[in-house]
A = this chain, B = another copy of it.
Amino acid sequence: MGVQDAIAEISTFLGQRLTRSKSDLDLHGRSESYFPLTPPDAVAYPETTQEVAQILRACAKAGCPVIGWGTGTSLEGQAQAFQGGISVDFSRMNRVLEIRQQDMDVTVQPGVTRQSLNEELRATGLFFPVDPGANASLGGMASTRASGTTAVRYGTMRENVLGLEVVTAAGEIIRTGTRARKSSSGYDLTSLFVGAEGTLGLITELTLRLHGQPEAISSAVCGFDTMGGAVQAVIDTIQMGVPMARIELMDEASVAAVNAYSGMTLPERPHLLLEFHGSDAGVAEQAETFGLIAAEHGGSGFDWATRAEDRNALWTMRHNAYHAILASRPGTRAVVTDNCVPISRLAEAIEGTQADLEEAGLPGPILGHVGDGNFHAILMFDENDADAVARAKTVSDKMVTRALALGGTATGEHGIGVGKLNYMAREHGGAWQMMGAVKAALDPQNIMNPGKLVPPRN
């Protein structure tokens, strides 16, 4: 059988770094999300690009599925081995290879996490902005086209990856992009691999854009009487062109959860969490503009943090919000919705969601990166309650239908995996078939993370 042949061959050069221990298989068979345990047949821990190429060649020869694994924090089952095969864990390819301060770029191996990268950068005056809630790997973040609280100012992985080294489905090593800031040289293969969820090849090196640490930073929280008021304040702030570095929404239930989880004492009402980057004068000007807008929409208790510790506490709390919400109802599982709509339609999208939740009688704390029009409802249910599961699915479905009708997308940042596969035809129509054609061209045997993202192969 194919998989066994691949395992035998890979063992010859990886030795102990190809494991079949139950704990390792189980670890790579689950995700942070609601999908069942689906262990791979083996887990490989390559240390070099050459080893990755050898693994891919062995798998190509044997027709064995290959699933990349960064830190396994993706939320749509992307890294799970639903069809078995070899999980390629990049945790041993975790070196920052070269920091080029003058060009404000860096080359890293895919297993470097966002936090460890920023630790290495601390002394340089530069930082890498993309910050999903989890301390994810840069290879995984590129592969899901991740973003986070700062995308409103600094962009997502799409805007911050300059180039890649990739091992193809045939085990060939290629490079996409250069270190030039722009190029018109041929198809944008970098953008094709960013967001491809490991279905086209494995990323073995990334060159990333860095940004200068701003001269001044201040963070703030601001409570609102109503969700509508908070959302309208966001819309106005973005439309005024205030260059927010961060502008995050948490509804009442989210605030209650983070208070309990992180020992905060925010008043239990809707809040915006904000950050301003710029010169001293610029930051003050932005904060003042925001303050005026917020006051118009029932914002109050506009509270400041310029000390680094206070800011860190604030954003750590925000990054832990998902775990805080799950912890607020022990034993429940969750579908995390991830709609993103044009900013002018954000109020409609959120109000509609609240109505859906009410109708379904489902707890669904809402929070998100609202400066981009992106928000999540964490739809919680007891997985043994078939009816609740069905209601969660219905709400998620309605939300997607609404987001698409408003000109938006089913997923602003979490990606497709298997969890959002059934929205693809609706969002993309014929373009989804085109994705399938690209996949078939670059992975004719369908060994790269099969069953994810593209239409099922006939």
Contact with B along A253-293 (1 / 0, CB 8 A): 00000000000000000000000000101100100000000
Q: Is the CB of A442 within 8 A of B438?
A: yes
**A458 at the A/B interface (Cβ < 8 Å)?**
no
Other than A145-B188, A187-B195, A188-B191, give 15 A-B pairs with Cβ distance below 8 A: A102-B343, A103-B343, A103-B344, A151-B182, A178-B409, A180-B403, A180-B407, A182-B372, A182-B413, A185-B420, A186-B427, A186-B428, A188-B188, A188-B194, A434-B442
Chain B proximity of A77: nearest CB distance (Å)? 14
Complex formed: what's the CA distance from A341 to B183 in Å? 10
Complex formed: what's the CA distance from A186 to B200 in Å? 12
Q: Is the CB of B184 within 8 A of A192?
A: no
**A416 at the A/B interface (Cβ < 8 Å)?**
yes
Complex formed: what's the CA distance from A407 to B102 in Å? 13
Q: Is the CB of B416 within 8 A of A184?
A: yes
Which of the residues B173, B195, B434, B437 comes within 8 Å of A430, measured between beta carbons?
B173
Contact with B along A124-145 (1 / 0, CB 8 A): 0000000000000000000011
5 A-B interface contacts by CB (under 8 A): A103-B344, A104-B239, A180-B372, A188-B192, A191-B191
Which of the residues B159, B194, B431 comes within 8 Å of A175, measured between beta carbons?
B431
Chain B proximity of A346: nearest CB distance (Å)? 10
Counting from the closest, the 8 A-B pairs by CB-CB distance are A441-B441, A191-B191, A179-B407, A102-B344, A183-B409, A180-B340, A184-B415, A103-B342
Q: Is the CB of B102 within 8 A of A180?
A: no
